[in-house]
């Protein structure tokens, strides 16, 4: 689990573009021990809309957790396979500032 989280931190620090960072993040989560697919859904106008994904989906083994920023839910992290729930929750926290861009910021300036 620690290796996957360290990889996510490195990805988010390395990538300059938010889209590239989120695509690399779902790739790393799908490749985590026990993972087969990962995706991020953005909250848009009250609906979750699937964004970047990687791997082969297996919805029968899907785990998900909300992605929150500043106390507001801005999306959902989904992983198929046998991935630790604690890893999923920590990963959601790491990607939350980046997922915010897919959410309506109400015209407020934003920096990760």
Check whether 59 has a pLDDT greater than 70.
yes
User: Quick one: pLDDT at residue 19?
Assistant: 87
Check whether 1 has a pLDDT greater than 80.
no
Q: How far is CA 39 from CA 53, 61, 67, 92, in A?
A: 4, 13, 12, 11
Supply the pTM of this predicted model: 0.87
All structural domains of the chain = 2-102 (3.30.450.40)
Q: Which of 59, 1, 55, 70 has its CA nearest to residue 23?
A: 55
User: Quick one: pLDDT at residue 34?
Assistant: 94
Check whether 90 has a pLDDT greater than 90.
yes
pLDDT tens for 15-54 read 888 888 999 999 999 999 999 999 999 988 888 989 999 9
Minimum mean pLDDT range among 7-11, 15-19, 68-72, 106-110: 106-110
Q: Where are the beta strands (DSSP E) in 45-112?
A: 47-55, 62-69, 72-81
- For the four alpha carbons of 11, 37, 99 and 5, in that order, the dihedral sign comes to negative
Check whether 108 has a pLDDT greater than 80.
no
């Amino acid at each position: 689990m620690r290796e996957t989280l360290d990889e996510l931190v490195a990805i988010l620090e390395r990538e300059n573009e938010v889209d590239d960072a989120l695509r690399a993040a779902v790739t790393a989560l799908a490749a985590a021990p026990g993972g087969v697919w990962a995706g991020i859904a953005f909250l848009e106008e009250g609906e979750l809309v699937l964004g970047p994904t990687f791997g082969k989906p297996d919805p029968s083994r899907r785990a998900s957790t909300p992605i929150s920023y500043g106390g507001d839910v801005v999306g959902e992290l989904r992983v198929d396979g046998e991935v630790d729930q604690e890893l999923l929750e920590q990963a959601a926290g790491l990607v939350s500032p980046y997922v915010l861009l897919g959410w309506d910021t109400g015209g407020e300036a934003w920096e990760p």
